[in-house]
Structure 1
Amino acid sequence: MTEQPDCENKTEARKLAEEYMLLGGRRKSKIDDNITDVRKWEDDPPEAESFWTGQIDPLDEERRKEVEFFLPSINNP
Protein backbone atom coordinates (compact mmCIF):
# COMPACT_ATOMS: atom_id res chain seq x y z
CA MET A 1 0.00 0.00 0.00
CA THR A 2 1.36 3.43 -0.98
CA GLU A 3 1.56 5.90 1.89
CA GLN A 4 -0.15 9.17 1.05
CA PRO A 5 1.26 12.54 2.16
CA ASP A 6 -0.86 14.25 4.84
CA CYS A 7 -3.79 16.35 3.57
CA GLU A 8 -2.30 19.81 4.11
CA ASN A 9 0.96 18.99 2.36
CA LYS A 10 -0.83 17.01 -0.33
CA THR A 11 -2.88 20.06 -1.22
CA GLU A 12 0.22 22.25 -1.58
CA ALA A 13 2.14 19.52 -3.42
CA ARG A 14 -0.78 18.95 -5.77
CA LYS A 15 -1.00 22.69 -6.48
CA LEU A 16 2.69 22.83 -7.37
CA ALA A 17 2.46 19.76 -9.62
CA GLU A 18 -0.64 21.10 -11.35
CA GLU A 19 0.92 24.52 -11.93
CA TYR A 20 4.03 22.87 -13.39
CA MET A 21 1.90 20.75 -15.75
CA LEU A 22 -0.23 23.76 -16.77
CA LEU A 23 3.00 25.46 -17.82
CA GLY A 24 3.67 22.51 -20.14
CA GLY A 25 5.94 20.48 -17.85
CA ARG A 26 6.84 17.09 -19.27
CA ARG A 27 8.42 15.26 -16.35
CA LYS A 28 6.69 12.02 -15.34
CA SER A 29 6.80 10.09 -12.12
CA LYS A 30 7.79 6.47 -11.67
CA ILE A 31 6.52 4.95 -8.45
CA ASP A 32 7.76 1.48 -7.59
CA ASP A 33 7.70 -0.10 -4.13
CA ASN A 34 6.93 3.30 -2.54
CA ILE A 35 9.98 4.87 -4.20
CA THR A 36 9.20 7.89 -6.36
CA ASP A 37 11.52 8.92 -9.17
CA VAL A 38 11.07 11.48 -11.95
CA ARG A 39 11.85 10.85 -15.61
CA LYS A 40 12.39 13.53 -18.21
CA TRP A 41 12.62 12.42 -21.82
CA GLU A 42 11.79 15.77 -23.42
CA ASP A 43 12.88 19.28 -22.48
CA ASP A 44 10.34 21.39 -20.64
CA PRO A 45 9.10 24.65 -22.12
CA PRO A 46 11.08 27.55 -20.59
CA GLU A 47 8.21 28.57 -18.29
CA ALA A 48 7.83 25.07 -16.87
CA GLU A 49 11.61 24.63 -16.46
CA SER A 50 11.83 27.96 -14.66
CA PHE A 51 8.94 27.00 -12.38
CA TRP A 52 10.55 23.63 -11.57
CA THR A 53 13.96 25.12 -10.78
CA GLY A 54 12.51 28.04 -8.82
CA GLN A 55 9.64 26.40 -6.93
CA ILE A 56 10.19 22.64 -6.77
CA ASP A 57 13.97 22.03 -6.86
CA PRO A 58 14.56 24.14 -3.72
CA LEU A 59 12.14 22.01 -1.66
CA ASP A 60 13.57 19.52 0.79
CA GLU A 61 13.58 15.94 -0.47
CA GLU A 62 10.40 14.92 1.34
CA ARG A 63 8.39 17.87 -0.02
CA ARG A 64 9.79 17.39 -3.55
CA LYS A 65 8.77 13.70 -3.47
CA GLU A 66 5.24 14.78 -2.50
CA VAL A 67 5.08 17.01 -5.60
CA GLU A 68 6.52 14.25 -7.79
CA PHE A 69 3.78 11.91 -6.56
CA PHE A 70 1.19 14.09 -8.35
CA LEU A 71 2.95 14.18 -11.72
CA PRO A 72 1.59 11.97 -14.50
CA SER A 73 2.87 8.42 -14.13
CA ILE A 74 4.94 6.61 -16.74
CA ASN A 75 2.86 3.54 -15.85
CA ASN A 76 -0.32 5.11 -17.23
CA PRO A 77 -0.44 5.78 -20.97
Structure 2
Amino acid sequence: MEENAAKALADEYIRLGGRRQLVMDDNNLTTRTWEKDAPEADAFWIENVHSLPDAYRREVLSFLPAINAI
Protein backbone atom coordinates (compact mmCIF):
# COMPACT_ATOMS: atom_id res chain seq x y z
CA MET A 1 0.00 0.00 0.00
CA GLU A 2 1.32 3.42 -0.86
CA GLU A 3 1.92 5.86 1.96
CA ASN A 4 -0.58 8.25 0.38
CA ALA A 5 -3.27 5.57 0.36
CA ALA A 6 -2.63 4.70 4.01
CA LYS A 7 -2.69 8.36 5.00
CA ALA A 8 -5.89 8.89 3.02
CA LEU A 9 -7.58 6.04 4.92
CA ALA A 10 -6.46 7.43 8.29
CA ASP A 11 -7.51 10.97 7.35
CA GLU A 12 -10.95 9.83 6.21
CA TYR A 13 -11.46 7.81 9.39
CA ILE A 14 -10.60 10.87 11.50
CA ARG A 15 -12.77 13.14 9.34
CA LEU A 16 -15.72 10.83 9.95
CA GLY A 17 -15.30 11.18 13.72
CA GLY A 18 -12.83 8.39 14.48
CA ARG A 19 -11.34 8.55 17.98
CA ARG A 20 -8.77 5.73 17.96
CA GLN A 21 -5.28 6.76 18.94
CA LEU A 22 -1.99 5.12 18.10
CA VAL A 23 0.05 3.46 20.85
CA MET A 24 3.63 2.59 19.93
CA ASP A 25 5.41 0.17 22.23
CA ASP A 26 8.67 -1.47 21.10
CA ASN A 27 7.65 -1.17 17.43
CA ASN A 28 4.24 -2.71 18.14
CA LEU A 29 1.46 -0.49 16.83
CA THR A 30 -1.95 -0.78 18.44
CA THR A 31 -4.86 1.56 19.04
CA ARG A 32 -6.71 2.68 22.13
CA THR A 33 -10.04 4.42 22.45
CA TRP A 34 -11.47 6.31 25.37
CA GLU A 35 -14.29 7.92 23.44
CA LYS A 36 -16.67 6.09 21.16
CA ASP A 37 -16.25 6.51 17.40
CA ALA A 38 -18.98 8.19 15.43
CA PRO A 39 -21.08 5.46 13.76
CA GLU A 40 -19.79 6.47 10.31
CA ALA A 41 -16.17 6.24 11.47
CA ASP A 42 -16.74 2.86 13.11
CA ALA A 43 -18.32 1.48 9.93
CA PHE A 44 -15.49 2.93 7.84
CA TRP A 45 -12.87 1.33 10.12
CA ILE A 46 -14.50 -2.09 9.97
CA GLU A 47 -15.01 -1.96 6.21
CA ASN A 48 -11.74 -0.36 5.11
CA VAL A 49 -9.04 -0.80 7.77
CA HIS A 50 -9.83 -3.75 10.05
CA SER A 51 -9.71 -6.25 7.19
CA LEU A 52 -6.36 -5.08 5.79
CA PRO A 53 -3.32 -7.35 6.02
CA ASP A 54 -1.26 -6.62 9.15
CA ALA A 55 1.51 -4.67 7.39
CA TYR A 56 -0.95 -2.38 5.60
CA ARG A 57 -3.07 -1.89 8.72
CA ARG A 58 0.04 -0.87 10.70
CA GLU A 59 0.84 1.65 7.99
CA VAL A 60 -2.63 3.20 8.38
CA LEU A 61 -2.25 3.17 12.18
CA SER A 62 0.99 5.13 11.87
CA PHE A 63 -1.02 8.12 10.60
CA LEU A 64 -3.43 8.24 13.56
CA PRO A 65 -2.84 10.72 16.39
CA ALA A 66 -0.38 9.14 18.82
CA ILE A 67 -0.90 8.88 22.56
CA ASN A 68 2.80 8.82 23.27
CA ALA A 69 3.72 11.66 20.90
CA ILE A 70 6.18 14.12 22.31
Q: SS where residue 23 of structure 2 aligns?
A: strand
The percent identity for this pair of structures is: 44
Find the structure with the greater CA-based Rg. Answer: 1
TM-score (norm 2): 0.91
Partner in structure 1 of residue 45 of structure 2: 52
Structure 1's consecutive aligned runs of 4 or more residues displaced over 2 angstroms after TM superposition are none
Shift of 1:50: 0.5
* CA RMSD, 1 decimal: 1.4
**Count of aligned residue pairs for this structure pair:** 70
1:11 equivalenced with 2:4 (yes/no): yes
Quote the Cα distance in structure 2 between the aligned partners of 1:70 and 1:39. 14
- Which string of whole-angstrom CA distances, capped at 9 and with x for unpartnered residues, describes residues 39-66 of structure 1? 1111100000000000001101111010
Shift of 1:37: 1.1
- Unpaired runs of 5+ in structure 2? none
Shift of 1:29: 0.1
Corresponding letter in the other structure for 1:54:
E
Partner in structure 2 of residue 3 of structure 1: none
| 1:24-63 pair list within 5 angstroms | 24-63=17-56
- Unpaired runs of 5+ in structure 1? 1-7
